[in-house]
Amino acid sequence: MRVLFLNPGKDDVCGYDTTYPPLWAIALAAVLREDGHEVAIEDYDRRPLDRATVEAALQRHTPDVVGVSALTGPQLGRALLISKVAKELGATVIWGGPHPTILPEQTLEHPAIDAVVIGEGEHATRDLLRHFQGRRDGVRLHNVAIKRKDGGRIEVFPPHGDGVDLNELPLPAWDLLPDIDRYATRIGEDLRLSDRWRIKMNTSRSCIYRCTFCFQANDNVRDYLGKYRYTHPERIVREIEFIRSLSRHDVTAFDFIDMLTIFNRRVTREYCDYFIGRGLDAKWYASGRQSMLDDELIQLLARAGCEMLFFGVESGSNRILEMLDKEIDRKVVAAVTRSLSKAGIYSIASYVFGFPTETREEMEQTMDLMRFIPSTLNCIQVYQPVPGTPLFDLSVRRGDFVPPASLEEWVEASRTGIGANVSEVETDWLYRMTYENAVRQYVRFFLNYQFDHLAAGRRDAFLDSLTTNRVEAEMPNLKQAIGIERWSGIEIKLPGAPFQPSPSPIGHDLAVGA
Ligand code: B12
Ligand code: SF4
């Protein structure tokens, strides 16, 4: 069959550097190609998308099947536009990704969609296409919902097994991306990372935790996504070499886009030893829990090329952390962050304001915690209810959020981000405070970065950093990421002068605290 994967993406920028390759499409394409299908991929992320664009793509590729991926958010509208056009032009339309995984039946009720892949897609999509081809040789539908042609009855096929063996899969089809270099970015020293071309790739599936704001907390989602699995480092190196062979750039930095990469001491050591043993000349970034790191492992991570770690702290309030089912030992996190910094590993901590029932005092505790944990950069967001999660259900039960009842309603509700306020504070205060704090974090970050240059005697870089207003360049992204533009009446006050130097958050004493 001819299959066309269309990645809806968003038309604008969200966050600092968001050139995400459509990892879902290359993962599936590799498997389908092996099964004899002809697969093409087009990516509309950060590109304008209208009816004519989709029509042109369909005329170019004349697919039998069009596959679309959807997160709950602004991408939904674009995903639906693609699907309506594809359906009108006679293709079979399949959806996959987090939104249809959580709401398969509601998604499939839409007339433009014929089938939904629920959770992990490689084997499910392969078997679904075999089913469409009328192949009955051992084909057993699983992880899908389909609409029967006679009367539109929806049938859901549950998963079987614990998920695909990542090490057995063909390497993702990076060669099918029309322009792999679109995903190579070089922000390098701008963000105190080494100045290398980098690309994002996926190395694991699912997560061992179940934070109550995350869709991993949903039992159904966990079943359909399979248990936590990680890729053998040998395969990671093979994928890195494959990417390098396709790119015009000298790509030597890799962002592991996982829910969780650093999850266990033994496996982390295995990764590090393998990368060191292979003499891998690459830097890599990952996400993980800090509590499992100690000085010795941090040194090993640094030697193995780890240059940045992302970790979720979320809140400074014990009550909220308990509600999130997240154990954070503040002292351990602060100490580990300091050790990471000394080892030259950059740390990004994520904080969220506005959880259901959260009060102003609790948000102030979060601000205190941000001052206490000396991460290189703090990312701040306003909590948004993700369907299928315990906190979403709590928001609905409390009457703070009315769940959209159809896919079209979800499109409307999330056109510019869900933009909800389910906390105990005024919306105006919540968004303004989050934005002001986010700007303050960037100011702190860029001041520390200037001090870095000064401390290292990099005179030209220091002078350059003085004449370039990086915070201002960052503001539209921040506004967009926080969703502030929804609340147009909000008056934004930029943070004033008094930043107090704090003890050595980035490894020398000049640095500025949160
Ligand atoms: C990269 C990423 C992003 C990127 C964009 C990703 C994209 N697809 O366009 C950016 C930074 C823009 C982003 C933003 C957000 N994200 Co995000 N993001 C991720 C992340 C880290 C990786 C996704 C990925 O590439 N995975 C690797 C690939 C291989 O896996 P996959 O996408 O799941 O695909 C597999 C299956 O789902 C399936 N499949 C997927 N698509 C399709 C399509 C078809 C046709 C088929 C058949 C199968 C199929 O097959 C694939 C192979 O098995 C995930 C966490 C994770 N590790 O999955 C969160 C995640 C997807 N994001 C999430 C959230 C909450 C958000 C935000 C709402 C956060 C926020 N508060 O702003 C925003 C929403 C913005 C928006 N909608 O535009 C949630 C999803 C919740 C939800 N209901 O949608 C996740 C799961 C994180 C989490 N654990 O909660 N995100
Ligand atoms: S650690 Fe991250 S991916 Fe895992 S359950 Fe918590 S928020 Fe979700």
Structural domains present in the chain: 2-157 (3.40.50.2300), 192-486 (3.80.30.20)
454 alpha carbon – ligand 1 mean position (Å): 39
Cα–Cα distance measured from residue 451 to residue 403, given in angstroms and rounded to the nearest whole number: 47
Distance of CA 360 to the CA centre of its chain: 28
- The protein residue with its alpha carbon nearest to ligand 1, atom 71, reads 384
- Closest ligand, as measured to the CA of 11: 1
Whether 170 contacts 30, CB under 8 Å: yes
Mean of pLDDT values over 94-102: 97
- Closest ligand to Cα 92: 1
Q: Mean pLDDT over residues 41-64, rounded?
A: 96
What band does 499 get if pLDDT is binned at 50, 70 and 90? very low
| CA distance linking residue 220 with residue 213, whole number of Å | 15
SS3 49: coil
Choose the residue to mutate in 12, 13, 17, 24 for probing ligand 1, maximizing ligand atoms within 8 Å of C-beta.
24
Residue 491: is its pLDDT beyond 60? no
* Sign (positive or negative) of CA dihedral 332, 335, 338, 343: negative
Instruction: Collect contacts of 14-18 with beta carbons under 8 A, ≥24 apart.
Output: 14/477, 14/480, 14/481, 15/477, 15/481, 16/187, 16/191, 16/474, 16/477, 17/185, 17/187, 18/45, 18/46
Mean pLDDT of 464-472: 72
365 phi and psi angles, rounded to 5 deg: -65, -35
For all residues of the chain together, what is the average pLDDT? 88
Residues 214 and 386 sit within 8 Å (Cβ to Cβ): yes
Where are the alpha helices (H) located in 89-232, listed in sequence order?
A: 98-102, 104-108, 122-132, 219-225
Condensed to tens digits (0 to 9), the pLDDT of residues 296-335 reads: 999 999 999 999 999 999 999 999 999 999 988 999 999 9
Q: Which atom of ligand 1 is nearest to the CA of 101?
A: 37
User: Is residue 356 within 8 Å of residue 423, measured between CB atoms?
Assistant: yes
Residue 284 banded pLDDT, cuts 50, 70, 90: very high
Which residues have a Cβ under 8 Å from the Cβ of 371 and sit 6 or more positions away?
502, 513, 514
Contact in structure between 276 and 312 (CB atoms under 8 Å): no
**Ligand 2 centroid distance, CA of 227 (Å):** 13
Nearest atom in ligand 2 to the alpha carbon of residue 326 is 6
Model pLDDT, residue 187 = 67
Distance 71 CA to ligand 1 centre (A): 6
Q: At what angle do helices 470-482 and 427-455 cross, to 10 degrees?
A: 150
Q: Please, which pLDDT band fits residue 259 given cuts at 50, 70 and 90?
A: confident
Residue whose tokens read 């998308």: 49
Backbone angles phi, psi at 15, to 5 degrees: 90, 180
What's 417's DSSP letter?
B
pLDDT reported for residue 332: 93
- Alpha helices, DSSP H, located in 211-329: 219-225, 233-246, 265-277, 295-303, 318-324
Q: Measure the CA–CA gap between 218 and 212, rounded to whole angstroms.
A: 8
231 in the Ramachandran plot: left (φ > 0), alpha (ψ -120 to 50) or beta?
beta
Centroid of ligand 1 to alpha carbon of 295 (angstroms): 32
Of all residues in the chain, what percent carry a pLDDT higher than 90? Answer: 69
Residues 66-80, mean pLDDT to the nearest whole number: 95
Identify which ligand lies nearest to the alpha carbon of 3. 1
Q: Strand, helix or coil at 162?
A: coil
The Å distance, Cα 136 to ligand 2 centre, comes to 38
- Ligand 2, closest atom to CA 259? 3
Contact 439, 379 (CB under 8 A): no
**pLDDT greater than 90 at residue 509:** no
Mutating to test ligand 1, I would choose from 1, 31, 41, 71 the residue with most ligand atoms within 8 A of its C-beta, which is: 71
Neighbours of 488 (CB within 10 A): 6
On the question of pLDDT at 217 being above 90, the answer is yes
